[in-house]
Structure 1
C-alpha cells in the first residue's frame, strides 16, 4: 500500500487512489473547481515519488520539471511526498483597483499585480481569495494597453469565489496563481480572414480582449461578434462594443437574447471558406454555436472554443 506524505502527515492510501481524493481524505483542504484538469486550482508539487498522471499535457513543461502536478488528474501508485500550492508562498500578490457592476449579474474586477504579468489576449488566470478559494477567470484586459488585469465574474448564482468578490473593495489584496492558455487567441496571420466571435454570458470577456487585439493589429477581414445573454440588461459591454463598431467599419456586433438566438443562428451564412470562429461560454451554448456553424459549412478545425465549466460551489 503506497504512503502519502503531506504537511507533516503520513497516511496509507489504496493503490491507484485519486490524489485529490487522498489529500482530502487526509484532511488537507486542497481547492478544486472542475476536476477536469482545466482550472488548475488543485496544483501540488511532488517532492519525492511520481504519481500516474492522466493529463500531463495540461501543465507547461517547465512547471512539470519543477514537480507541479494537478491532483485531480493523478493517481497514487507509489510512496509520494507532496506540497500543496500555497498562494502566499507561490502566488503573485495583487491589489484590487476597482470592483464595479456592469449589469445586474456581472461584476467587473480590476487587479493591479505587484509586478507586471506577461500574458496574451484570451488567456485565463487562477485567482485566489484570502480564504483559500481558487477559481480560473478569463482576462478581458488588453496587454500593453490596460494598466490592470480585468475579469468579468458571473454572479447570477452563489459561488465560493463570487460571493467573496462581492465584498471586495479598492485596495483589498488577492493572490494570482497559474496563467493558463486555452484555445482563444489572435494570430497575426489571420489578418485578412473573416473572424466570427460568438460568446455566451461572460464568455464575452476573453473575446473582448481578442477583438481589441485584432483591431490593434489592424485586422483587415470582416469581424462579426455575437453576444448571447439572458435578456437585454445582461449585454454588459453594449456601449463599449457599439463604440468599437462605430470606429471600425469592418466590425459588426449583434446582441441576442436566448429567445432571439434560434432565428439568428438559422440565418447564419458562411461568406468565405477562410472564416475562423472563436467560441466561448457555457458548454451547451458553445455546442449550439458550433453545431450551427458546422451546418453552415464551417469545418470544426476552423472553430476554436473555450468552455466555462460549472464550478464547485
Structure 2
C-alpha cells in the first residue's frame, strides 16, 4: 500500500494535483484525520510493509449518517477526488461516496487476491512468498523428524494464497473453500506416499476450508501418523513487499491519479496480462474471482 500511496503523490504532483492523506480509512474521513503528502513525505516508504496512513474499520461509515459526515468533512477539507486502496468492502464505501458526489477511484489491495477485474491485487505476491518461505522452513523439520505438517494459511472465503503457495511449496494436499477436498482423500494420499517410502508430508489448508488443528487431528486419527500443526496467522500480512508488489502498486497508484486528474470516477484500476486496465466499479464489486480449474487439477495431479 505504501508504494501505491507514493505513486499517487508523485504522479499526481506531476499532473498538477495537491494530495493529502486520510488516516485510518473511512473512520478518518469522518473525523477529519488528514496529513499533507508531499514528495518528501513519501520518500523512503516503497520498501515498507503496511501503510503509513494506517487503516481501521468504521461501523459509523456503514450508516447514512456516517456517510453524510464523511462527505461534509471532505467538502470542508476541499477534497475533490479520493483514491481508495482496499478490497470489496472498501470499494462499496467508495461507490457510496460517488453517489453522494465525491469522485472516487479504487486500487485493489488485499492479500486474498479475491477482487474481480485484476489478475492480482497488491499484497498477494508478498503474502504468498511469506507462506512459501514458512513452508520451506517447516519442510526442514518435517524431513528431519518424519512428520506430517498441516499448515493453515489465511483465506476465509478465498483459497488463492493456499493454492499458489501450496503449489510453489510442493504440498502433498491443498484444501481450499472453492473446491472442498475430503479429509479421507487427503489421508489416502498420505498413506499411498508412506507405502512408497515417503516419511514426511505437507498439507496446506486455507482457513475457510477448515481449522488446521481439526484437520490435523482427523489425519492423526485416520492414519496414526505423527502430525504437527502450524497456523501462520497475521505473519502473512506484514513484511517488506516483494519487487513484484512494489511495481504493481506503483503502476496502479499512478493510473488512479491519472483517472482523477482527467475528471473521471467510479473505476477500479487493475492489471490484466501485464497491462494496466480500468474497470467500472459495477463490474467488480461483489463479483466472484474463481480459482482456475487448471490450477486445482495441477495441484491434484502433482499430489501423488
Look at both structures and tell me which one has the larger radius of gyration over its CA atoms: 2
Identify, as 1 or 2, the structure richer in strand: 1
Task: Provide the TM-score with structure 1 as the length reference.
Answer: 0.31
Greater relative contact order (CA < 8 Å, ≥ 6 in sequence): 2
Task: Provide the TM-score with structure 2 as the length reference.
Answer: 0.31
